[in-house]
Amino acid sequence: MKIKKFQARTFSEALSCVKKELGDDAVIISSEDRKGSRPYVEITAAVDYDVERYDSKSSAPLAAPPAGDLAELKNEIRTLRECIESMRNSGCEMTLPAERKKMFYFLREKSIRDDYALHLVERAKDIDDLEMLISEDMSRTKFFDSFRSSVWDMSDRYSKRIVMLIGPTGAGKTTTVAKLASKAVKEGRKAAIIGVDTFKIGAIEQIRIYSKMIGIPLDIVSDAQELKKSVKKFNDKDILLIDTTGQNPKDEQYIKNLKEIYKTGLPIETQLLMSVSSDGDFLMDTYKHYGALPVDYIAFTKTDEAVKLGSIYNLCRTYRKPVAYITTGQRVPGNIEFIDNRKLTNLILRTGSA
């Protein structure tokens, strides 16, 4: 058994010193934040050796202690080993000082990934600080202020906006297209909807009803060339919203069909819709498949149904994509929020039990 103290500016620096000197088997016994003009983190780490093997390898064996002492020593080592093993099994948060451990558990409870949570609590002094850091991390994704100006501000580089919504089946694409179209109309824009039904599975009734309800034209197309013609036909519109039929993103043909659309050279803004009521791992996996497409924005749907919203932070942080908006219910029009990063952070931290 070897026990040693390590000091460094941050917890992860100290941890890497531990790993370097004592190896991956080292176990953190304690860690403390040392305050002062130059604050630092002090970690006490231990590494366990097999005493018997260590002695037998030694060229100058130790003199054997009396039998009773040896039994006691072995007993103590066993207890220590068990203690270390249980600490190892508890995970990285065991090494955090109490206040930070509390923040770590708070973030974990919101479904924020352990490694991201660890990095956050390392930088945060308190919960308020956490809020600011999360908000900052996400603001680096530019957020949807850019969306607001890009889609609704016609002085932007495109004279016309073509916005395509993609995402898994049931994510809320059709409903959201209707919400966006209603908003555009309400703001005095001329809008039209194009439904892309590449598999001709006929899932168009819903969008037909919405287009009638909003009072705007609808075109149903089945491939990229037809889409191009439709865009041309709607030349007089300010905004075209493209609804796609979601398929299993693991299906290569489906992604290939979508890719064909980009080959037309149309200036399409792509929004990937993800339902936050889905499992976090599913969302990460979904992004990996859709990431093969030029995704401009992520939009999170069904925030009203979600028990936890940490996956929003996880996705923003991993993929560094701006968030276009969130949707908050089934109602059309309405139930869509162009929420800013501060408010979104607040929502992430307040959703779920405290």
Nearer of residues 97 and 352 to ligand GDP, judged by Cβ: 352
Nearest residue by C-beta to Mg ion?
Answer: 174
Nearer of residues 167 and 249 to ligand GDP, judged by Cβ: 167
Cβ 201 to ligand GDP shortest distance, Å:
11
- State both tokens at 55: 């002695």
Are the beta carbons of 244 and 293 closer than 8 angstroms? no
Distance CA(97)–CA(80), nearest Å, equals 21
Cβ 187 to Mg ion shortest distance, Å:
24
One symbol per residue from 153 to 182: x for binding Mg ion (CB under 5 A), - otherwise; what is it?
Answer: --------------------xx--------
Of 83, 91, 90, 117, the closest CA to residue 102 belongs to 117
Helix, strand, coil abundance in the chain, percent, nearest 5 = 45, 20, 35
Burial of 106 from C-beta contacts in 10 A (0-12 / 13-18 / 19+) = middle
Cβ 225 to ligand GDP shortest distance, Å:
23
Residue 270 sits in the site that holds Mg ion (CB under 5 A): no
User: Contact positions toward ligand GDP, by CB under 6 A?
Assistant: 167, 169-175, 206, 246, 301-302, 304-305, 327-330, 335
Cβ 230 to ligand GDP shortest distance, Å:
19
Nearer of residues 103 and 336 to ligand GDP, judged by Cβ: 336
Cβ 348 to ligand GDP shortest distance, Å:
16
Residue 303 sits in the site that holds Mg ion (CB under 5 A): no
Q: What phi and psi, each to the nearest 5 degrees, are found at residue 23?
A: 85, 175
Nearer of residues 73 and 213 to Mg ion, judged by Cβ: 213
> Coil, strand or helix: which one is 350?
helix
Distance CA(280)–CA(283), nearest Å, equals 5
Residue 171 binds: one of Mg ion, ligand GDP, none (C-beta under 5 to 8 A by kind): ligand GDP
Nearer of residues 120 and 315 to ligand GDP, judged by Cβ: 315
DSSP alpha helix (H) spans, 158-239? 173-186, 205-214, 224-233
Cβ 203 to ligand GDP shortest distance, Å:
7
Neighbouring-strand partners of residue 44:
5, 30
Site residues (CB under 5 A) for Mg ion? 173-174
